[in-house]
Amino acid sequence: MKGLTGGRALKAAITITLIFLAPALLAADKKHPSTYRIPLPPKPDFSSIEWMIGNWTGQMDRHSPQGSIHLSVEYGLDKRVMIFKEDISLAASGELPATQESSIGMLTRAPSGDSFLLEVYSTTGFVTRYRVVVSGAEIDFTPDGGIQPLPGWLSRRLIQRGDVDGFTESVQLAPPLEPFFNYYTAAFTRHAAAKSPSPSTPSDHKNP
């Protein structure tokens, strides 16, 4: 049997290779693309704190710097977070100068499941994190670091719920290596939902 020349031998080798690979290529062509499903984490349970959703106005008591606070709380990201928006304006006190500040915070369930975490971003440039613990009618906000916290300072607050349309908030500050002092206490009342105007009827407009 005569040997094949170089070109004919190469063609023969390619033909044999394709014959053996054909079944594998056909199987790959029939295989459907994979569909990946990523399980989503369960939504946080905000039932113990969702009563705060709404718009609130805070008035200082007589022992606090004079001023006002406006607070708005709402759900966000398909109810996976609660969003806190606050505008505060306070006169100077014996310990601190006058304050004009706006902030936005995002509250979600802590990984441990026994508390919440609130990350607050402020117009001052500071970013503070609080651990939030709900105990009955009380909500404790304790400092828990943050991306850019006040250097050396600590801030904590306590909310005590009154009726369905009010609560009291007490805020304390601690300078570096110093104990906490009372900054302000404010009584918050809920804004009534704005009523949409009723549509007019032909009888409401009388011709002269």
Helix (H), strand (E) at residue 22:
helix 6-30
Tell me whether residue 38 is in a domain: no
Where residue 160 sits, what CATH number does that domain have? Answer: 2.40.128.20
pLDDT tens profile 84-132: 999 999 998 877 889 899 999 999 999 888 899 999 999 999 999 999 9
Domain total of the chain: 1
In the predicted structure, residue 149 carries a pLDDT above the cut 80: yes
In the predicted structure, residue 158 carries a pLDDT above the cut 50: yes
pLDDT tens profile 167-194: 999 999 999 999 999 999 999 999 876 5
Residues 125-146, mean pLDDT to the nearest whole number: 95
Position 163 confidence tier, pLDDT thresholds 50, 70, 90: confident
> What pLDDT is attached to residue 93?
82
Tell me whether residue 18 is in a domain: no
Cα angle vertex 111, ends 109, 116, to 5°? Answer: 30
> What pLDDT is attached to residue 191?
85
In the predicted structure, residue 76 carries a pLDDT above the cut 80: yes
Tell me whether residue 176 is in a domain: yes
In the predicted structure, residue 59 carries a pLDDT above the cut 60: yes
If phi > 0 it is left, if psi is from -120 to 50 it is alpha, else beta; for residue 152 that is: left
94 within 8 A of 118, measured Cβ to Cβ:
no
- In which domain, by residue range, is 182 found? 50-190
Residue 2's CB is within 10 A of a number of other CB atoms, namely: 4
Distance CA 17, CA 14 (A): 5
82 within 8 A of 107, measured Cβ to Cβ:
yes
Tell me whether residue 90 is in a domain: yes
In the chain, the N- to C-terminal Cα span, in Å, equals 119
> What pLDDT is attached to residue 194?
55
